Amino acid sequence: MSAYEMRANFGSSHILTGNQLRAALDDLLQKFTVVAPVMADNKLVYDEVKAVGDIVLDDGLPYKSPKEIVFPRVEAVMRFLENRVEEAQVIKPVLLVGAKPCDLAAMKVLDEVFTGEQGRYKDSFYSNRRDFLTIIGMNCREKKAGCFCEERGINPAFSLDCDGFLTLQDDGAVYEPLTEKGTDLFSGTDLFSGTDEASINSASHGDEPVQDGAKPDRHSVESEGPGMGPVPDGVKLEKMLVLEAIEGEVFNSMPWEKYAEGCIGCGTCTFICPTCHCFNLRDSEKNGIVTRTRVWDSCMYPKFTLHAGGHNPRTKKYERFRQRVLHKYLYIPENYGCTACTGCGRCIRSCPGGLNIRNTVADIRSQLETKREVHV
Ligand code: SF4
Ligand code: SF4
């Protein structure tokens, strides 16, 4: 049984036929602003849904991640008026449907960084949006080109990092509420009255099933890889792609120039990444009102680290590429206990220069192992 079939069964579940699933989604559309996979310009993307028929619940991984729901590309955060300052953020409750396990893992990384779970900094603009977000996750059935989520310790068939989980079947799906929010979504409806209690073919990953009435919350279940979902039995930790190194071992001794060959500094890899979260603040004035806006930024841009005094610590392309890789695989793990790469493969599929972060990290690991063996 592959990891794409292995999953855990937590608590009560409901089998929905295709028609029942569409009726359930239609019901949610009447109550919420729903974001789900839809087709736009011939690409599958997470976007706001207008009609239930637009939702594409199949095995495709949307081209872009859903991070824009909680961390918009451009967001007004403050307004400076003549006598006062006011917050400019506008938020509304959003229901995200069909988030894949890799994107749920990525949201958990963003949570670590932005919500101060580790007692660091709390970003109120992110946290406000996050508090108003309800998420229904969905399984992945087949590996796509460039994906390496299993090597990152993510179970593509299931995740607890959401409020309810849909497991797609040949016709319809199984819905499992995982939190109070996920249960409340359908309270007051009779959608499940004619449905069967599911008996899911599952291979447990070792966790005990949750007792009736005790729904695990987003952070209550230990995972093998911090910031990741439960690891299926078939994935051994020694095969996980992590960079167990200290900065001094890799900063100057790896062939970074070779790794970065072909990079044109377009920034696509960072904008498309579900865990990248760098931003800039810009002020603009109109009719005497100054608006402060937060916009995405990218460490792959030559002027990203340009200081006000004119010094730029990363003038070379390879230095910027090194920063991106080490930020994800060394600095975030050191600071937050989770790797900021889910193996979604988006940067690999979208890079015009053909760069591949998975292969870079695997090569560094292999070089480190060789070096360490030599020194034993
Ligand atoms: S997408 Fe590729 S070419 Fe563009 S900045 Fe990233 S690594 Fe460089
Ligand atoms: S670095 Fe690439 S593979 Fe890793 S999470 Fe970001 S886009 Fe996905």
Q: Taking 70 as the threshold, does the pLDDT of residue 266 lie above it?
A: yes
Q: Which atom of ligand 2 is nearest to the CA of 346?
A: 7
Choose among 162, 336, 159, 135: nearest CA to 231: 159
DSSP state of 68: G
Burial of 32: CB neighbours in 10 Å, binned 0-12, 13-18, 19+: middle
Q: pLDDT of 345-374, one tens digit each?
A: 999 999 999 999 999 999 999 999 888 877
Average of pLDDT values for 260-288? 96
pLDDT beyond 60 at 43? yes
The answer to whether residue 261 scores a pLDDT higher than 70 is: yes
Q: What is the pLDDT of residue 371?
A: 85
Residues in the chain: 376
In this predicted structure, the answer to whether residue 228 has a pLDDT above a threshold of 80 is no
**Alpha carbons 298 and 340: distance in angstroms, whole number:** 15
Q: Which atom of ligand 2 is nearest to the CA of 345?
A: 3
CA distance 242 to 252: 19
Q: How far apart are CA 293 and CA 295, in angstroms?
A: 6
For residue 78, pLDDT over 90 is answered with yes
Regarding the beta carbon of 343 and ligand 2, being less than 6 Å apart is answered yes
**Ligand 1 center–CA 347 separation, angstroms:** 8
Instruction: Reduce the DSSP state of residue 33 to 3 states and report it.
Output: strand
DSSP classification of residue 183: H
Q: What is the DSSP string of 72-125?
A: -SEEEEEEE-SS-EEE------EEEEEE-HHHHHHHHHHHHHHS-TTSS---HH
| Test site for ligand 1: of 346, 351, 358, 360, most ligand atoms within 8 A of the Cβ | 351
What is the distance in A from the centroid of ligand 1 to the CA of 145? 18
Bridging pattern class, strands 196-197 and 43-48: unpaired
Question: What is the rounded CA–CA span in Å between residue 339 and residue 246?
Answer: 14
pTM: 0.86
Ligand 1 mean position, distance from CA 281 (Å)? 23
